[in-house]
Chains A and B, each alone.
Chain A
């Protein structure tokens, strides 16, 4: 199993979720996040007081998938989230040692 963590542009969320369900992903978690990479922040001005905001709003998607689904899921996210502009985001894939569905007690791949 792999944990896939994707940091994407917020407005791409719906397309990415559609693409993931298209390759067989059955569940995921979404959270609002802030951060920075090569795309720096922006400047805000309130009555002449300038504030540099170094963190850019992003959406963080987490999903755990079976090993054979993982490459397809990563490709699907990448294709859906791509705008060719700076700040499109990143995708990480991490090995997961176990999974458990609380209601039934099913484990690992059957719990996904």
Chain B
């Protein structure tokens, strides 16, 4: 009972950053009991150890995970460009995160949409600062909370590269990332995960970032591919992936790293974290098989790229549900997401004429929507979920839908502004000549392969 209540009340990964500084600065009328509980909080070494591991696992998802996943889908002439863009965008996000991003998302005060600038340059944070977990009196060092959340900002920015790769300039991606983090990512992370955040207070369930990371990245990439336009020759010229081997390696690294992403979002090394890890296995496995089943049913051969795509769809969908679902609910959500994403990517996308190169919207956007809405149902005790007996799935679905709606609208408008400014400053895309010769030579003066 307390188990399920906690999950509902804290909406998955709730980032209640209660540092000693916060306790000291709290208004005098703060309930004495709360102040006492915070004063008594201690750093849990076991939880801290797990969070360090989880944080570096998420790093492996970015470089080399996402980099190789996208790189394999690109053509040989653009391989180094894709790898470089992922590397640089993620690096920039990390720097911005510690300068002002963390403060904007998780600062001590603020409103429903954004925190404050009180922790710019991590002001006031020391090795003794603690960040609250979901257990009273149990904290992890604020530094590891900052680092863990930093990897989330970095991977979300890196995911967007897939929508505009093979034509966007590196400089465009860098300017876009700086603006986009500031006006889209930090506010949405605050709204969903910080105490007092708009969506957090609605009670929306988002364990590890279905809205903040996946819907956000998917929609922002979609806006980018619309603003920058299609690649030269798309869709008439053949543009097959240059190395499905690389894509499989990237898929594997993403899958492994995702255990840190989802399991770490519990912020503690406890039973819910292990549930998230188990769900991250089985939802992904279901995604692999059901995407390939979709291929087979629609008259095609089951393909490796299909299996890898299904894995990502399953991973994306289980992200908001990771600790808010039983293992069989996770299988269900992974399977449904894979089929819906398969339908969108193979049947809807060609009709819409979108050149979302690596299907960031088709898989992260659509999969994130399926996962965020589906989490309302995976909570059901009847599906093995952690919801209480009187859990009302339809009421929760309304909240989930509202959260999805806010994420889509905010990301679409904010990303459009960021893309527009980035395009204005940097030109947006490389010249047609560079695009034909490949961005490796044109943008970086090197080739990914010399043999």
A51 to B305, CA, bound (A): 15
Chain B 331-345 residues near chain A, CB threshold 8 A: 345
Bound complex: CA A35 to CA B388 (Å): 65
Q: Does B405 contact A (CB under 8 A)?
A: no
| CB of A50, distance to nearest CB on chain B (Å) | 9
Instruction: Report if B238 contacts A (CB, 8 A).
Output: yes
Query: Does B309 lie at the interface of the complex (its beta carbon under 8 Å from any beta carbon of A)?
Result: yes
| 0 or 1 for each of A36-52: is its CB under 8 Å from B? (1 = yes) | 00000000111111010
| Residues of A contacting B300 in the complex (Cβ-Cβ under 8 angstroms) | 45
- A53 to chain B: which residues have CB within 8 Å? 238
> In the bound complex, do residue A51 and residue B359 qualify as a contact, i.e. CB atoms below 8 Å apart?
no
**Residue contact B347 to A48, C-beta cutoff 8 Å:** yes
Contact A47 B240 (CB under 8 A): no
Q: Which of A44, A45, A47, A49 makes the CB contact (< 8 A) with B309?
A: A47
**Quick check: A51 and B350 within 8 Å, CB to CB?**
no
Are A47 and B346 in contact (CB-based, < 8 A)?
Answer: yes
Contact pattern, B 325-368, Cβ under 8 Å of A = 1, otherwise 0 = 00000000000000000000111011000000001000000000
Q: What are the residues of chain B within 8 A of A47 when measuring CB–CB? A: 305-306, 309, 345-346, 359
Q: Are B241 and A48 in contact (CB under 8 A)?
A: no
- Interface size class on chain A is under 10
Residues of A within 8 A of B296 (CB): none
**In the complex the two chains form, is A48's CB within 8 Å of B303's CB?**
no
Does B235 touch A at the CB level, under 8 Å?
yes
Which positions 9-56 of chain A face chain B at CB distance < 8 Å?
44-49, 51, 53
B45 within 8 A of A: no
Q: Does B301 contact A (CB under 8 A)?
A: yes
A44, B350: Cβ atoms under 8 Å? no
Q: Select which of B239, B240, B301, B349 is within 8 A of A48 by beta carbon.
A: B349
A46-B241, A46-B303, A49-B350 given. 7 additional CB < 8 A pairs?
Answer: A47-B306, A47-B309, A47-B345, A47-B359, A48-B347, A49-B239, A51-B240
Would you mind naming 23 contact pairs between A and B with Cβ atoms under 8 Å apart? Answer: A44-B240, A45-B300, A45-B303, A46-B240, A46-B241, A46-B305, A47-B306, A47-B309, A47-B345, A47-B346, A47-B359, A48-B345, A48-B346, A48-B347, A48-B349, A48-B350, A49-B235, A49-B239, A49-B240, A49-B350, A51-B238, A51-B240, A53-B238
